[in-house]
Amino acid sequence: MEHELYVVGVGPGAASLLTVQASELLRRVDCVVAAPRHSPLVDWHPNRLTLEGFSQTLDRVEKELERGSVAILVSGDPGLFSLLPWLTRNRSHLSPRVLPGVSSLQSLCAAVGETWESAAILSGHGRPLSEATLLNSSETRRLSVVFCGADRTPQWVCETLAGRVDRVEVVVGERLSYPDERVRRGSPREMSGLSFDPLALVLVRNLSPWTPPFGRIRDADFERSSVPMTREEVRSVILDRLELCPGSVLWDIGAGTGSVSVSAALACPECEVHAVEFLPEALELTERNRLKFRRHNMTVHEGRALALLDSLPPPTHVFIGGSGGELRELLERIPGLMGLQTGVRVMVSAVTLETLGDAVALLSGPLYDGFDAVQLCVSSSKTLGQSHALMGRNPVTLLSAQSRLPKKNHG
């Protein structure tokens, strides 16, 4: 074991859950690296380093490796939200050996007699965790596990769920494995008024999780009215050609019934969808469909798109199904929006020749690259007496391009 680096899972924190393998190794290594919380586990070791900033600490670890073997202690199990991925990505030449440990997830599930093989595992500990991710997971999974952090506390979990996903049970485990361990459970409303130790883990139990529809949503599944709706066959092509991915931010301008917004939010739960609509009937319908399909990563905005441009988060994708006469100005202003890191993928759905002409002129012009268009002509069967005929619908043209980032002025 000379000059070897070990990453050692030390369990939730108490010495009683340190594995025999880990205990024996810590007695043999020449240096141990531990965060302040884990220092009591190795306070007897003659050569200890405090785990602080990763880069700074690893510089010292490399010097210690010149003299002998080093063990870095991590909470729980190294395979679950530890520094191991950072270490293998940034110091791969060190080739660490890994010793597994008992995770706090295992400890809490054991304490409440819960299995976790199908759990959704989320972390707000030094990682971004949005309300939408927590809500969508709690709606659709029997068990969601949240590793808490400085601003993603058990209180935040309970307050986020209360009033939006109430039919769940929240279980909070505090200071797991220590003598003052505490496990409390209740509804989000009951638990949101309590205070918790910062060292906590949360389980969200949903005994009747909602199952999202598989594949595309059928037209008949949406709440409908006289408001025009993008048909299901066209929606499928829109989603395919938008090319959404986790982290995408989609604006759906002229949302109508919300069918494109809901479909996008379901197809890509890790993206943000912002439905923009100014007609009162359409607004109400879009919100009803958002609630029906339980899309927490979808927000409905009231108003005309041009008036809302500066208040919406910077988009990565824009779909324009209806512009209320603002199409030309929208397409001219989108490339210059503040906060854009990359070009915006813009798609326009055109039924009228006027919309088609404006979209072609702008999207194939100097503000955009990669202009492309596809026209869909869909026919569906209809019974005519004893016969069946295919009845054609109005053709829909989908025009898309990538906006160019404005040139920076270096003068």
Give the C-alpha separation, 356 to 331, whole Å: 13
What the chain holds in terms of domains, given with CATH numbers, is 5-102 (3.40.1010.10), 105-205 (3.30.950.10), 219-403 (3.40.50.150)
Q: Give the model's pLDDT for residue 410.
A: 46
Q: Which long-range contacts (CB under 8 A, 24 or more apart) does 229-234 make?
A: 229/256, 229/257, 229/259, 230/256, 230/259, 230/260, 230/321, 230/349, 230/396, 231/378, 231/393, 232/259, 233/376, 233/378, 234/349, 234/376, 234/378, 234/396, 234/398
Name the phi and psi angles at 169, rounded to 5.
-110, 135
Which letter, b or e, does each residue of 208-218 get, where b requires 16 or more Cβ atoms within 10 Å of its Cβ?
ebeebeeeebe
Contact at 8 Å (CB) between 121 and 30? no
Q: Which residues, in sequence order, are CB contacts of 231 under 8 Å at separation 6+? A: 219, 378, 393
Give the C-alpha separation, 45 to 58, whole Å: 19
Give the C-alpha separation, 126 to 361, whole Å: 46
Q: Supply 107's token pair.
A: 């400890």
Q: Give the model's pLDDT for residue 150.
A: 87
Q: What is the pLDDT along the chain (411 residues), one digit of tens a residue?
A: 678 999 999 999 899 999 999 999 999 999 999 999 899 999 999 999 998 888 888 899 999 999 999 999 999 999 998 889 888 898 888 899 999 999 999 999 999 999 999 999 999 988 889 999 999 999 999 999 999 988 999 999 999 999 999 899 999 999 999 999 999 999 999 999 899 998 899 999 999 999 988 888 998 999 998 898 999 999 999 999 999 999 999 999 999 999 999 999 999 999 999 999 999 999 999 999 999 999 999 999 999 999 999 999 999 999 999 998 999 999 999 999 978 888 999 999 999 999 999 999 999 999 999 999 999 998 888 888 888 888 888 899 999 999 998 776 544
Residue type, 151: D
Hey, how many other C-beta atoms are within 10 angstroms of the C-beta on 63? 11
3-state secondary structure of 266: helix
- Spacing of C-alpha 307 from chain mean position: 28
DSSP per-residue codes, 202-227: EEEE-SS---PPSSSPPGGGS---SS
Q: Which residues, in sequence order, are CB contacts of 2 under 8 Å at separation 6+? A: 68, 69
> Do β-strands 298-302 and 272-277 pair in parallel, antiparallel, or remain unpaired?
parallel
Contact at 8 Å (CB) between 295 and 213? no
Task: Report CA torsion sign: 266, 267, 272, 274.
Answer: negative
> Taking each helix axis from N to C terminus, what angle separates 131-140 and 154-161, rounded to the nearest 10 degrees?
70
Give the C-alpha separation, 160 to 157, whole Å: 5
In terms of Cβ atoms closer than 10 Å to its own Cβ (0-12, 13-18, 19+), residue 364 is middle
Q: Which residues, in sequence order, are CB contacts of 6 under 8 Å at separation 6+? A: 25, 29, 69, 70, 71, 72, 96, 97, 98, 99
Q: Give the model's pLDDT for residue 409.
A: 53
pTM: 0.84
